[in-house]
Amino acid sequence: MNSLPLTRDLVLIGGGHTHALVLRSWGMNPLPGVRVTVINPGPTAPYSGMLPGFVAGHYTRDDLDIDLVKLARFAGARIINGYATGIDEDARTIHVAGRPPVAYDVAAVDIGITSAMPDLPGFTTHAIPAKPLGTFASRWDTFRAQADAPQIAIIGGGVAGAELAMAMAHSLRDKQPTVRLIDRSRVLTALGYKARQKMLAALTASNIEIIEYAEVTEIFAEGVVLRDGRTIRSDFTTGAAGAKPHDWVAEIGLELHEGFITVDANLQSSASEVFAVGDCAHMPHDPRPKAGVYAVRQAPVLFDNLRAALSGGTLRPYKPQRDYLKLVSLGSKTALAEKFGTAHAGPILWTLKDYIDRKFMDQFDTLKPMAAPKLPRTVALGVKEALGDKPMCGGCGAKVGRAALQTVLADQFGDDAAVVQPGQVMSTDHLRALTNDPVLMTQIAAVHALGDIWAMGAKPQAATASLILPRMSVELQERTMTEIMATASEIFAKAGGRIIGGHSSLGDELTIGFTVTGLTKKPITLSGAKPGDKLIVTKPIGSGTIMAAEMAGKANGADVIRCLAHMVQDQAKASTILGNAHAMTDITGFGLAGHLRGICDASGVGAVLDLDAIPLMDGAQALATAGVRSTLFEDNRIGAGQISGASMDLLFDPQTAGGLLAAVSARSADTALQKLHDEGYSAAVIGEITEGSNIKTR
């Protein structure tokens, strides 16, 4: 609930080290009235300091990654999973692929750098740059699991390339690797004499072959070609040289230095409302190398200056230190330390580096989850029980349970949509927001509302929107409404319908709903299932549990992003494929068991479910086993009635924008299933309709 209206938009482009720390600080001390958005291509941001240790096998991928989804939840920010492709400084909007522009009052850019290696002929097809780190880490994970006597070529003989070479050699030491470090001049020229000598000795001890004064001119599947005509064999080629700014930065219209955003001592660009930090920024008044330590130490200054810019306060300058302690991994658990020209190496320095890196990452693993609201000292009887022990879920997890609705609605409780007149059906649905992103929430709510129409075998016709926006300024109302209506219009147009009107108001939190009509010659209802029919679902289940865990800071960010992707997958083609179903519904608030009970009761049949065949969303079963449940779980368990045999909590998990559940004839099930798979649905046959009225599991 927002106690004060939202009046300003702060947008963080990129999930780099500085922005990660800013989000953490924001969660502990937010500025009232500010809506925060973070845009990043992926749910995680790898920590560069631990990459060599990960490559060497000392750390897992989970150790390496900052979970931006958890961090955004802690900060009260919306996270947009996508690539920023440009900034319109005049309109103060940020362009992100596949969605309407994102407006800002103040923005900050922390997108790091990319590699110039793809400019080499064949590099994009046959090699992998060391940056971005996430992509590199995934490719390396796959390679080392399959490698056998591997040949590895690393282009770029700087500190980063040497670290990777020794890490790779250590990781593959039992597989007789050949690791070559290639540079167009001398290797390790950025180090002082003492440090360079120790690094060269470490490279020799790791059996790294150093190839100097050798320019790579082409990459092919089996290796690299040098300008002098030599061919170097390689099964895994990477580039740790030639770092450059992202291409789209050049189109922003800001002052640049060799493609990097020029910033002043306050970290402001030539446009005062746009800040830049980390490797993508250049400080002409006090130039510093591209090193993570500077990004980390910029964080408190950026945090203070963003708050000042949004509240009319005074900015303060960032003053970088003259030098810093460089800790370089040497493959095994030993490290090199250099500062002010002195250099030392040994296992104790690895222990120090490991301590520093883990301490940095621990900041993001100890975030306190969202707490249940505190009760006044004296409340009415039953308030504590009604409130529960955790915050209310969003989406279908916030709905009234099946048992209560069945009791109250009696004869009116039934099919997904009502037949208005022959050939036309109508349904209405709305959702309490489960994400702070209006665009994503609109996609989910639209697909969810259309589900009732698709479940009747109908084609969408027209829709009206019903919106409740959080209290916000007129300007933010316009921005939010623009995002919502542009998204809704696109989704309904794709489905074959259109938005014809609606209603909006302000309230405590974002709620989005649609009333939809559809056209069909013969509605598919709940009441036509026959013994022997196969039960088909078109999406995996588990969204209620995952989103409940996400609210509590317990869900893996990647699982959350995949869960949301399942929600926004429409069911238009699935509805057509299942057009001859005897009975059909969509799996939403009542969960799989509750909606199956609806088919069984209406059709006068029973069912048997094969628990092992039910598709589950990534991470859902582990969370359910750990006791994570949606707030609607218990109501759904009661509403589903008695189920014989083994049980599974996810049967009662409310699904937001869930898949279709169809009873189809046994002879057509295999064909329908294959067509669904061909269209990209994670569909499965999960059981069959039986005589009687009982639902059983096996």
How many Cβ atoms are within 10 Å of 97's Cβ, its own excluded?
A: 9
Residue listed under structure tokens 């039910």: 614
| Cis ω for the linkage preceding 132 (within 30 of 0) | yes
DSSP assignment of 498-536 equals EEEEEEEEEESS-EEEEEEEEE-SS---STT--TTPEEE
Q: Report the alpha-carbon angle 531-535-540, nearest 5.
A: 165
358, 49 contact by CB (below 8 A): no
Catalytic residues: 396
106: exposed, middle or buried (C-beta count within 10 Å: 0-12, 13-18, 19+)?
buried
Q: How far apart are CA 570 and CA 453, in angstroms?
A: 12
560, 636 contact by CB (below 8 A): no
Long-range contact set of residues 137-144: C-beta below 8 Å, sequence gap at least 24: 137/46, 137/51, 137/54, 137/55, 137/61, 137/64, 140/55, 140/168, 140/236, 141/61, 143/235, 143/236, 144/57, 144/171, 144/172
604 backbone φψ class: left, alpha, beta (φ>0; ψ -120 to 50): left
The β-bridge partners of 109 are 13, 276
Q: How far apart are CA 512 and CA 300, in angstroms?
A: 37
Q: How far apart are CA 70 and CA 553, in angstroms?
A: 6
430, 439 contact by CB (below 8 A): no
Torsion angle of C-alpha atoms 621, 627, 630, 633, degrees rounded to 10: 90
**φ, ψ dihedrals at 245, nearest 5°:** -70, 160
Q: How far apart are CA 157 and CA 65, in angstroms?
A: 26
Buried/exposed 409-432: b ≥16 CB within 10 Å, e otherwise: eeeeeebbbeeeeeebbbbbbbbb
